[in-house]
């Protein structure tokens, strides 16, 4: 078996980085029940509910909660009426990520730059105003029905956006989740390079690395992956496509249930994965579990690490090493009824990789669940 992870990072000139994205501003989930989704991120993942929009705040169309943990900001929204576009989205996809929003200085410039390079507009630059200032956005489509919203908060001092009011009575017990590390998209067979080109040409991203796992594709639910990264390196979007194999790829299972390409997983950084995962488990979060034999070979594979191997094993955490250092990671089971989106918890000790050395063990664990669902 050979799995190659090739690093292809090159320094980027300011001109090539025409979008000048500062960071991921928020990730917006369209769900069936925003109140309960809020409760899940709050009580299971330790996000703090900070803002609400809904009937009580003058929003007659949808209920929406904003939650934060470190710099990670998630928004969950559900419609009040079947005619609303959130209802249509939810009917097709179930709960899922609609928007991956990025903060920029100039939403007009971002929209012009991307749409003139072939990006499909979701909405032209617009301003929403209230007593707290002007909230400026523009948006384009990426894979499937997913959108990238450009956000400029420079002249907005309110909580999140107009119609949202602060939530003051909900304290959270943080699990140590600090920031979004990367967001992975699943696209159809043969479409990975199309979307790699989209991120390069339309958004000025560069390819950071690729995973070519054709040697395991005949035996395991395989995938191909390329990682795109923006100019300042804060935004990383790996793109997966299914690879041909003897069994149904986990990416195909996703596409069968999400019905279009979409966000497969969000990786969230922690500074102490042992503490984070211990607490998440206590809160009821369910994780993929690799076989115990994984841990027999681990010391030889990754060498010495700071963390206690026994704790790593007990919690089911995975470890991978490359020339830059190592990383620890773990993946949840799907977080909604459909076997679509899941969450990754990751801690980096130098390594800027994605855990390619864990793919085989991880795929086997996912496959076992696919089999239980009758989808292998």
- Interface stretch with Fe ion, choices 48-56, 190-198, 302-310, 337-345 (CB under 5 A): 337-345
Q: Residue 129 Cβ, how far from Fe ion at the closest point, in Å?
A: 38
- Interface stretch with Fe ion, choices 36-44, 153-161, 336-344, 361-369 (CB under 5 A): 336-344
Count of C-beta atoms within a 10 Å radius of residue 83: 9
Q: Is 181 in the site for Fe ion (CB under 5 A)?
A: no
Nearer to Fe ion, 76 or 266 (CB): 266
Q: Residues 254 to 283: which contact Fe ion by CB under 5 A?
A: 267
DSSP labels, 25-76: EEEEEE-S-HHHHHHHHHHTT-PEEEEEESGGGT--SEEEEEEEETTEEEEE
Q: Measured in Å, how far apart are the chain's first and last C-alpha atoms?
A: 22
Those residues with Cβ within 8 angstroms of residue 346's Cβ, 6 or more apart along the chain or in another chain: 181, 267, 268, 269, 270, 273, 327, 328, 329, 355
Q: Is 344 in the site for Fe ion (CB under 5 A)?
A: yes
Nearer to Fe ion, 320 or 344 (CB): 344
What track of x and - describes contact with Fe ion for positions 220 through 259 (by CB under 5 A)? ----------------------------------------
Q: Residues 74 to 93: which contact Fe ion by CB under 5 A?
A: none
Q: Is 335 in the site for Fe ion (CB under 5 A)?
A: no
Burial class (CB in 10 A: 0-12, 13-18, 19+), 159: middle
Nearer to Fe ion, 267 or 315 (CB): 267
Q: Residue 266 Cβ, how far from Fe ion at the closest point, in Å?
A: 9
Q: What long-range pairs does 165-170 form, CB within 8 A, spacing at least 24? A: 165/51, 165/52, 165/53, 165/56, 165/57, 166/50, 166/51, 167/49, 167/50, 167/51, 167/52, 167/65, 170/42, 170/48, 170/49
Nearer to Fe ion, 65 or 342 (CB): 342
Nearer to Fe ion, 149 or 267 (CB): 267
Nearer to Fe ion, 298 or 330 (CB): 330
- Whether 340 and 261 have beta carbons less than 8 Å apart is answered as no
Helix (H) or strand (E) holding 181: strand 177-186
Nearer to Fe ion, 164 or 195 (CB): 195
- Interface stretch with Fe ion, choices 20-28, 169-177, 204-212, 340-348 (CB under 5 A): 340-348
Q: Residue 255 Cβ, how far from Fe ion at the closest point, in Å?
A: 18
Kindly list the residues in this chain that would bind Fe ion in the complex (CB under 5 A). 267, 344
């Amino acid at each position: 078996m050979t799995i190659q992870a090739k690093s292809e990072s090159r320094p980027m000139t300011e001109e090539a980085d025409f979008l000048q994205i500062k960071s991921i501003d928020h990730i917006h989930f369209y769900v069936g029940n925003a109140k309960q989704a809020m409760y899940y991120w709050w009580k299971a993942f330790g996000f703090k509910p900070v803002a609400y929009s809904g009937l009580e705040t003058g929003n007659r169309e949808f209920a929406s909660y904003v939650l934060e943990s470190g710099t990670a900001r998630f928004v969950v929204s559900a419609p009040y009426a079947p005619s609303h576009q959130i209802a249509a989205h939810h009917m097709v996809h179930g709960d899922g990520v609609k928007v991956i929003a990025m903060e920029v200085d100039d939403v007009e410039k971002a929209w012009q730059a991307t749409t003139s390079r072939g990006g499909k507009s979701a909405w032209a630059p617009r301003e929403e105003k209230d007593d707290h200032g002007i909230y400026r956005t523009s948006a384009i489509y990426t894979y499937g029905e997913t959108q990238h919203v450009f956000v400029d908060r420079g002249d907005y001092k309110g909580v999140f956006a107009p119609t949202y009011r602060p939530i003051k009575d909900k304290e959270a017990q943080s699990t140590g989740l600090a920031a979004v590390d990367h967001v992975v998209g699943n696209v159809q067979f043969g479409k990975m390079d199309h979307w790699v080109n989209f991120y390069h040409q339309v958004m000025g991203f560069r390819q950071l690395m690729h995973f070519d796992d054709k040697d395991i594709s005949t035996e395991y639910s395989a995938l191909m992956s390329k990682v795109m990264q923006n100019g300042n390196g804060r935004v990383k979007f790996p793109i997966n496509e299914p690879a041909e194999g003897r069994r149904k790829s986990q990416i195909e299972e996703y596409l069968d249930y999400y019905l279009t390409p979409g966000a497969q997983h969000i990786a969230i950084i922690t500074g102490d994965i042992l503490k984070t995962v211990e607490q998440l488990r206590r809160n009821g979060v369910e994780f993929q579990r690799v076989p115990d034999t994984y841990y027999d070979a681990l010391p030889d594979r990754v060498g010495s690490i700071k963390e206690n191997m026994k704790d790593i094993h007990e919690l089911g955490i995975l470890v991978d090493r490359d020339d830059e250092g190592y990383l620890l990671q773990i993946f949840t089971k799907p977080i909604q009824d459909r076997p679509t989106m899941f969450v990754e918890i990751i801690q980096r000790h130098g390594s800027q990789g994605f855990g390619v050395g864990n793919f085989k063990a991880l795929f086997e664990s996912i496959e076992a669940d696919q089999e239980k669902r009758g989808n292998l």
